Structure formats: C-alpha cells, structure tokens
Amino acid sequence: MSEVRNVPEYFGCNVFNETVMKDMLPKTVYKSLLRTKQLGIALDAQAAEVIAAAMKDWAVSKGATHYTHWFHPMTGLSAEKHDSFISPTNDGRIIMEFSGKELVKGEPDASSFPSGGLRATFEARGYTAWDPTSPAFIKDNTLYIPTAFCSYTGEILDKKTPLLRSMDVISEQAMRVLRLFGDTAATRVITTVGPEQEYFLVDKELYDQREDLIFAGRTLFGAKAPKGQELEDHYFGNIKARVQNYMKELDEELWKLGIFAKTEHNEVAPAQHELAPIYTTANVASDHNALTMELMKKIALKHGLVCLLHEKPYAGVNGSGKHNNWSICTDTGEVLLDPGKKPKDNIRFLTFLVAIIKAVHENSDLLRLSVASAGNDHRLGANEAPPAIISIFVGDELQTILDALETGKMIRRNAKQEFVIGVEALPNFPKDTTDRNRTSPFAFTGNKFEFRSLGSADTIACTNTILNTIVADVLCEFADKLEGSENLDEDLNKLLKETYAEHKSIIFNGNGYDEAWVEEAARRGLPNYPSTVDAVPHYTDEKNIRLFEKYSVYSRSELESRTEILLDNYKKVLNIEALTMVDMSRKQIIPAGIRFSAELARAVNEKKSAGIDSGLEFDLAGRISNLTRSISLATDEIEKKLVEAGELTDAESAARYYRNSVFTAMQTLRAYADELETLCPKDEWPMPTYSDLLFRI
C-alpha cells in the first residue's frame, strides 16, 4: 500500500494537464493548445514540436522511458504499442528524443484488429492520431498519448473517432438553438458523462480453479448457494477490510491519473461493488472509464483478488451494469438540462427535453443496440436491470408540466398562484421531485439522464456517440424550423406541443419489470429486441445510415463493418463458452459423477453383503448415473451444434444459430450439471461452488 498523503497534493500528478502545460510551454503554444482543446482548431506543426519536447521532458523526469499511442479498437478493449524515447548518437551512446511527428501520428499494424471487412488482412497499415482534448498520462513508466485509430484508406477502426465526431455535431446544432434564445456568450456545447461502474470480486485461488471464469469471465455451471441477496444485507453494507484495502489503493491510483473517483459501496449481490466518478466531458470520461476497468483488474491481483466485469458472472444473483449519466452544458457553465430559476431558462430546458424525447422515440433501436453484447443479454430484462424495451422516465411533476404543455391548460403549483404553460411562463420546479425509477432504461434524474442499460464490461463510447448524434439531429430540425421565425415565441410553443404529442408514447413512469409493460409497449409501437442478434442488424437500417452519414459520424461501410464485428464477436463469445462447457463437462463434471456413482455402488454391495438395507444408496446411485448420462448426451449435443454452426459463413445467420441452438443446448447441459452438483458431496465436486465464490472474500 502507498503511504498516506494529502489527496489534493498528488491528484493528477501523473497527468500532463493544463497546470503542467502552463508551467512548461511557452505562452503562445499553451494558448494554441487550449484553442485546439476547446474549439477544435488544428494545431500547427511547430507547436506540436514544442509540446512533444515538453511532454517528453516531463515524462522522463517522472521516470518514463517509453511512450505509446493509446487507442480503442473495435475489440472493446484498449490497445498500445510501446516505443522508447532513446535515439542513438554518433559516439555509440543515446539521447532521449520525442518529435512532434511522433506525438501527432503513429503507425500500428492494423491487420490484426477487427475491421468487419473494411480492409483485407494483408492491408496492414493503420494510423493513430493524437487526441489533444484528452490529456496524456504516465502509467508503468510509459507516457500514454490518447489517440484515434483509422485505416490507411481513412476508415475509422476505433470507438473514439465517432465519439469525437458526435461531440462536434451536437455542439454545432445545440449552439444554433442557443442562439435562438439570445445566448451569445457560449462558444461550444459539451456533453458530460459520469459512468457508474459495477463489478464483482472473487478470491484469486478460487478463480484459478474455475475454467469458466478464466476463459469466459462468468460461471457456466453453478448451483445457487443457500444464501444469495434475498436478505438485502449487502447493499450499502459494511465494506470488508480486504475489499476496503483494495478500494483504497484503487482510489489512489485513479486519483494520480486525474480520474475523479468519488463514490464506492457494496452493491446488491454478495461480493458485488460499485465505483462512481464525478462527471467530465464525454471523450475524457470514456478514456477514464477504460482506465478504471484496467486498474480495477490490475490492482485486484495485488490483493489476491480477481475483478469480474462480466455482466452476469453468477446465475440467480444480480448482474453488473454501468449507468451512463449523460447531460449537456455550455462552455460557460450552463447546464442545459437544469430547469433553472427563470422562465426563459425553463423554456430553454423544455426545448432540449422535448428534443431528447423525440430523439429517443425515433431512435430507440440505436440506443438498444448500443448496449448489445453476449454478456448483457443475460442481464437486460431480468428483474435487476432495465428491460430491453427502451422508454423514458420523467417523474410525476415533470409529467404534469409536459401534459399541460400539450393541452395548454393551467396547472396549480400552490394555493396562491397559477401558471400558464407557454413560452412566457413555465413554472419552476426543484430537482429530484420524484423517486428514482430503477426499472427505467432512460430516466431523468434532476439535471441529467441516466441510461441504465449499459453492461459493466462495455465501453461507453458507442452509447454516447449515438446519444449525441440522435439528439443533434432533432436540434438541427428544431433550428431549421425556427431560424428566421417572425414570431419565435409562438412558433416555438407550437413546435414543442406538436413534437411532444407525437412522441410522448416513449414515456413510461411505471414498473418496467411488470409483464404488462411488454404488452403495453407493443400497443404503443415500441420495439422490443430481447437479444443482441435481434438488435445489432438495425445498425444498417436505411434510416440509421442516412442519419449517421448526414453528420459524417459513420459512413455506410463503417456501419456495415461494425454490424459484422458485433455479430462476429457475439458468435465467438458463445463459441468459447460452449467449448469451455464441453471441456469442463468431459474432464471434470462427468468424471465426478462417475466417481460418486461408483462409490455409491460399492456402498450398495457392501450393505447387501452385510444384510443391511441399501435402498437409499441404490436410488441415489441410479439418480447420479442417470444425470451423468444426461450430461454426457447434452455435451454431445453441444459438440454437434458447434459443428453445424461452423458451417455458417454469414455473420448474422451464424449469430442467430448460436443464439437459438447452441445457447439453448448450453442451458440444457447446465441444468443437468447444476442438479448433479446439489447431490454430490463437497469433496467430490471438482470446482469451487457459488458458496465459495460469493462468500469467501
């Protein structure tokens, strides 16, 4: 553990932040870099040289020997190639050098990263491009430079480039709307995100004995423990010393990297926990969340633990999500989703609110597919996470105001005063006037929306790219209709009323877990995509291609490639899980069943020889033998289906086969194996049980 220090003294000490830049860069270069960060203005080559030299000097002074362009390919993980700062001299010695060219552009081999058919395997060249809006940092004696990643021919191969594009798009369109309200001070609109990160911890020694945890990140077998989460005693409960020590070191390492780790607590399930940061800009939040997940895993090992980020490590207990708290603000500090204290601010708030309602209603398919993965399929729709049906929760008071907006009727705020819903007088209302709806996928929570459908292992980049783009599109439509209006108040009021009336069916303030909601959503025409293979193909619906191409966030070929990558990943994940189940069944579970049934058979013979009743042993031996045979047959069935799946070359067809056939066979095998586990003595079962995994931290 590190020594106790004053947090403000070391917070961000490993970040090349504005304080460091201000100290180390010439004033003109520093201002030029700020303009690049704040306004997106290109940085000239001479300034890049100066920045690179300062960055290298700072990094070397802190013990760094290497640098890397850190990027986020379509694997869903981060990637890095390390180069040293050394450069040879004529006398056979070295100096430490780092040029502006090396800072601005790198050339990693792109052939081994997913491209979804955008490039052939032999087309290896790829480029990383420095993202100056996200600060460089030092980790493990290496200078990390956040970058975007693209192919030699210019197609994007990462998850960050679309996010940066979408941030520019929503800024441009939101600024048009703000100008209508007379805001001349703001120069840029920024989307901010605070991703709450849920995770499980498991003892490393037990983890090493579970092949499924090692290869799949979740337990593919496992009978429920006698105790789960039913007593509700773990949520916000006392944090165990071992876990507290882990959290303490995690906080310290995150703070050194300038990550605003704020809240930590026990989550609902045993051995489940959460970390929540303070909000920051969407692209920095995406980088920070990737680092957070990496450090969670790395630091856990130092404490004899393993951090599980899979959405559903254990059947029968809550899975892990990542709540994406999203808002919009100006560079002058105005939060556009804050109702405000003045009528004109409330009108502005209502405009952005109605725009978001329309955006979510028209693009719920995109939001659903942005959280689609094999892991999250186990979680969405269960009574622990939002349903797969996308809807918006606004709460009672805001609902009343929206209804009054539509009808034009007055609403009573108190006994002394009435307000007319209109452009000139919208009532103030405080934040958090309603309970949080934990069953809603997309809930308004005071001055932000909480999108609760993300899986714990997901990157937040894709979701926020889509959120930014769909909201920007509606803001563009609003601006197109209102710019040049001769009676802005009247036209705005009419636009908001008509828009809300058309799209209010996306709002649902009730219990999303209720089966009746599925039927109600169908009556409202809201799509329901239960699995990844149902959701992902909608990426390439013509309406979605038109949307993304309109704002140059994705091209048609980039959307087609992402669709293929996601479906191929889904297929590969299920293939790995199925192969792991077969291996565990053949090498561990079936032998355990045979050993125990043989032991029982011996007991039957011994009791018979002694003239003692052996009915119990005989019945149990038969039951164990039958279960073991069923397990063997179910294993054969999985192997057969894997052969059939391997013959399918189309990504969508293969993914659907894995979902409908392979996954079903896996569930059958698991049911037999879990029943066998409940009958075997503990010392006969070949792997740690749920009781061990969940309660031995």
What tens digit of pLDDT does each residue of 662-679 get? 999 999 999 999 999 999
Please, which pLDDT band fits residue 287 given cuts at 50, 70 and 90? very high
Please, which pLDDT band fits residue 422 given cuts at 50, 70 and 90? very low
Q: Is the pLDDT of residue 421 over 70?
A: no
Residues of the chain above pLDDT 90, percent: 68
Helix (H, G, I), strand (E, B), or coil: what is residue 147? strand
Residue-averaged pLDDT of the chain: 89
| Residue in the block written with tokens 């430079």 | 145
Instruction: Give 354-357 contacts, CB < 8 A, sequence gap 24+.
Output: 354/496, 354/499, 354/500, 354/503, 355/177, 355/471, 355/474, 355/475, 355/478, 355/499, 356/392, 356/449, 356/471, 356/474, 357/392, 357/499, 357/500, 357/503, 357/504, 357/506, 357/507
Q: Is the pLDDT of residue 427 over 60?
A: no
Beta carbons within 10 angstroms of residue 510's beta carbon: 14
In terms of average pLDDT, the best of 104-108, 385-389, 406-410, 691-695 is: 691-695
* The CATH number of the domain covering residues in 568-695: 1.20.120.1560
Residues of the chain above pLDDT 70, percent: 90
Specify the pLDDT at position 148. 86
Specify the pLDDT at position 383. 57
Q: Is the pLDDT of residue 37 over 80?
A: no
Please, which pLDDT band fits residue 123 given cuts at 50, 70 and 90? low
Cα gap 275→449, rounded to integer Å: 18
Which positions ≥6 away from 649 have C-beta within 8 Å? none
Mean per-residue pLDDT for 629-638?
A: 98
Mean per-residue pLDDT for 526-531?
A: 94
Q: Is the pLDDT of residue 274 over 70?
A: yes
Which positions ≥6 away from 74 have C-beta within 8 Å? 113, 114, 115, 116, 157, 158, 159, 562, 565
Q: Say if CB 11 and CB 20 are below 8 A apart.
A: no
Specify the pLDDT at position 118. 60
**Residue ranges covered by each domain of the chain:** 7-158, 167-554, 568-695
Mean per-residue pLDDT for 361-384?
A: 89
Mean per-residue pLDDT for 56-79?
A: 89
Answer CATH for 7-158 from 3.30.300.30, 3.10.20.70, 3.40.190.10, 3.30.360.10: 3.10.20.70
Alpha-carbon torsion (624, 629, 635, 641), positive or negative: negative
Specify the pLDDT at position 423. 42
Mean per-residue pLDDT for 427-444?
A: 65
Q: Return the higher-pLDDT residue of 121 and 650.
A: 650
Q: Is the pLDDT of residue 414 over 70?
A: no
Q: Is the pLDDT of residue 1 over 60?
A: no
Mean per-residue pLDDT for 341-358?
A: 84
Gyration radius of the chain's alpha carbons: 28
In terms of average pLDDT, the best of 43-52, 82-91, 151-160, 442-451 is: 442-451
Q: Is the pLDDT of residue 257 over 60?
A: yes
Answer CATH for 167-554 from 1.10.760.10, 3.30.590.10, 1.10.1760.20, 3.90.1010.10: 3.30.590.10
Specify the pLDDT at position 463. 97
Q: Is the pLDDT of residue 137 over 80?
A: yes
Q: Is the pLDDT of residue 8 over 60?
A: yes
Specify the pLDDT at position 621. 92
Query: For residue 420, what are its two tokens?
Result: 């007319």
Q: Say if CB 112 and CB 35 are below 8 A apart.
A: no
Mean per-residue pLDDT for 315-330?
A: 94
Q: Is the pLDDT of residue 153 over 70?
A: no
Specify the pLDDT at position 420. 43
Residue 194 burial (C-beta neighbours within 10 Å; 0-12, 13-18, 19+)? buried
Specify the pLDDT at position 416. 40
Specify the pLDDT at position 382. 60
Residue type, 361: H
